[in-house]
Amino acid sequence: MQDVTDLRFWRLLGRYGHADAYVTEYIRVYPHSRVDKDIRQDILLNDTGCPVIAQIAGEDVPSLARIAEGLQSLPVAGIDLNLGCPAQVVCRKHVGGALLKDLSKVDEILAALRARITKVPFSVKCRLGYETASDFEKLLELFSRRRVDWVTVHGRTVRQGYGGRADWDAILRAAESLNCPVVGNGDISDPVQAARMLEETRLSGLMIGRGAVRNPWIFRQIRQARDGEPVTLPTGREVLTYLYAIKEMTSIVEHSRGESAHVERSKKFLNFIGAGISGEFLYRTRRARTWTEMEAAWKQYLDMERPYSLIPEG
Ligand SMILES: Cc1cc2nc3c(=O)[nH]c(=O)nc-3n(C[C@H](O)[C@H](O)[C@H](O)COP(=O)(O)O)c2cc1C
């Protein structure tokens, strides 16, 4: 996730139970571009013990092929093409989710990347379509035809952004129809439901974004549920310790820019966490301008032994 899930965050997740693998923030690809140096460092310095997959986003076919070729000399466990990002800055350039408007272009990119990615698996991360999901089956056919190694489906259209609910029926249909492994993505926050999904469907895996920022215990909890063990919930104080770890982690980049820049940076994480804590926690943290205000809100809601599921209401 852009601006959120970098090596520092993967390391932090390790305190609570790593994921099986991580995906980098997308590497923006265009003529003469190079692999973003921070992302390159994350790949090179990855000491989490977990495989890292490099994600690329672009529309210029020779550039995508060139970058994919180069990435294979780095310690990556795969290369993933972004066919889902809904951000306007990306879509305006016909990149990410905007590519779903033009399936012949998608086909051209898939063919070029399939030919160039030979040393590691080649995967795609897609949404159901751009405006609607009417071409989703055609998109899946392209993935089969171009022998993509695995596919992650986020069960929303690009137009939906992050609104509404992810359409899990569509994700499960994709898992039934494709011959390659399919990973489901969108709104996963309940570890018991997630474990059941892995057990009862043809899905090969789950990708968790916001849910892992909100609840970094989620990977361990899913394993507990899968193994029939009770799911252990963090206490308020443990969540509080996680928030202090985020403060510490974000200080490394933002400290020199002053307190308010640092507070704002931490909100990239807190906005997701706040959705799992009821009451006015989110309201208070969003309005905090200083660490004194921020920490007062944290303590009011979390300085207690009560367990937190961190599952958003509704
Ligand atoms: C702040 C933010 C940044 C994201 N950056 C990326 C990205 O770089 N690449 C990508 O494939 N998806 C990105 N996503 C989408 C997530 O990977 C995921 O598909 C989406 O949030 C739905 O899953 P979730 O409900 O588990 O978060 C981003 C989402 C958010 C909210």
* Percent residues over pLDDT 70 in the chain: 99
Tell whether the model's pLDDT for residue 105 goes beyond 70.
yes
187 CA closest ligand 1 atom index: 25
Burial of 249 (0-12, 13-18, 19+ CB in 10 A): middle
CA 235 to ligand 1 center in whole angstroms: 27
CA–CA dist 309, 203 (Å, integer): 25
The catalytic position among 85, 91, 126, 180 is 85
* Total count of residues recorded for the chain: 314
- For the record, the structure tokens of 58 come out as 């672009």
pLDDT of residue 151: 98
pLDDT tier at 256, thresholds 50, 70, 90:
confident
pLDDT in tens, 49-62: 999 999 999 999 99
The protein residue with its alpha carbon nearest to ligand 1, atom 4, reads 1
pLDDT of residue 252: 77
pLDDT of residue 255: 64
pLDDT, mean over the chain? 96
pLDDT of residue 131: 97
Nearest CA to 46 out of 13, 3, 14, 10 is that of 10
pLDDT in tens, 2-19: 999 999 999 999 999 999
Residues with CB under 6 A from ligand 1: 1-2, 4, 25-26, 55, 82, 84-85, 125, 154, 185-188, 208-211
> Is residue 180 among the annotated active site residues?
no
CA 305 to ligand 1 center in whole angstroms: 32
What is the distance between the terminal CA atoms of the chain, rounded to a whole angstrom?
Answer: 24
| Residue 248 neighbours by CB distance under 10 Å | 12
- pTM for the model: 0.97
Residue 265 identity (one-letter amino acid): R
Tell whether the model's pLDDT for residue 169 goes beyond 90.
yes
